[in-house]
Amino acid sequence: MDIDFILKVLPFYGAATWVTLTLAFYGVLFSLIVGTICAVINFYKIPVLRRIVYAYVEMGRNTPLMIQLFFLYFALPRLGIMIDGKHCAIIGLTFLGGAYMSEAIRSGLSAVGRIQVETGMSLGFGKLKLLRYIIMPQAVAVALPVIAATTIFLMKETSVVSIVAMQDLVYLAKDLLKEGHSAESNFLLVVSYLIIILPVSLVFSYLERRSRFAGFGS
């Protein structure tokens, strides 16, 4: 292990880690937003939109992220639609993650007891108020383990975005491999992903314990 080489390239790994972290943050954030909207549409069985959501979820879950990125980055320009690498990566992660988050949150919404919904309605709660104060807190607590798994999955999937010329960790590692330092490059790649993902995993583990202690998700 060449320590001098590791020290030399550490700043580059720091910059690439920030790129990866930024993409993961926006990908997960927008996936949660899209997934929540889709899950609510399914929960309230909104006509037409429910069918669109079903088609989207099936397409999102059954096509690889790499294919989605190829379409966004290489196919759309032929139709006159130009999207830079960063936005392609975020859109791709959101499209993939939103489908998985939708199913995770939908399962949580389905787990909320019907009697609680009826009780809320009898107290004069409107649909939005009922969703915000009664249904969604319990649904998120139930779905938290799946949301956590999907979040970590999406963070790992950022390793694919180098195909759209994003200078993330994998892009940097592949570039440094050309210099013949495969052991050092791969070691730093593994450590960088651990630094990104491990804290997120620990935070979700803590939140799951708190939700069980509070009586949710049981």
Do residues 133 and 125 touch, judged by C-beta distance below 8 A? yes
Number of domain units in the chain: 1
Residue 216: its pLDDT value, please? Answer: 52
Do residues 139 and 217 touch, judged by C-beta distance below 8 A? no
Question: What is the residue range of 102's domain?
Answer: 3-213
One-letter amino acid identity for 191? V
Is residue 198 pLDDT above 50, yes or no?
A: yes
Distance CA 9, CA 176 (A): 9
Residue 199: its pLDDT value, please? Answer: 92
pLDDT (mean) for 20-37 = 94
Establish if 218 belongs to a structural domain: no
Residue 31: its pLDDT value, please? Answer: 96
Distance CA 76, CA 211 (A): 43
Interval 76-114: pLDDT, tens = 888 889 888 889 999 999 999 999 999 999 888 888 767
Residue 137: its pLDDT value, please? Answer: 83
Q: What are phi and psi of 121, to 5 degrees?
A: -65, -35
Do residues 35 and 104 touch, judged by C-beta distance below 8 A? yes
Domain harbouring 153, CATH code: 1.10.3720.10
Establish if 26 belongs to a structural domain: yes
The angle subtended at Cα 174 by Cα 26 and Cα 199, nearest 5°, is 40
Residue 153: its pLDDT value, please? Answer: 93
pTM of the model: 0.85
Distance CA 136, CA 141 (A): 8
Establish if 205 belongs to a structural domain: yes
Establish if 150 belongs to a structural domain: yes
Establish if 166 belongs to a structural domain: yes
Establish if 71 belongs to a structural domain: yes
* 190 vs 131, more confident: 190
Establish if 209 belongs to a structural domain: yes
Residue 218: its pLDDT value, please? Answer: 46
pLDDT (mean) for 3-27 = 88
Establish if 136 belongs to a structural domain: yes
Residues in the chain: 218
What burial class does residue 208 get, using C-beta atoms within 10 Å of its C-beta: 0-12 exposed, 13-18 middle, 19+ buried?
A: middle
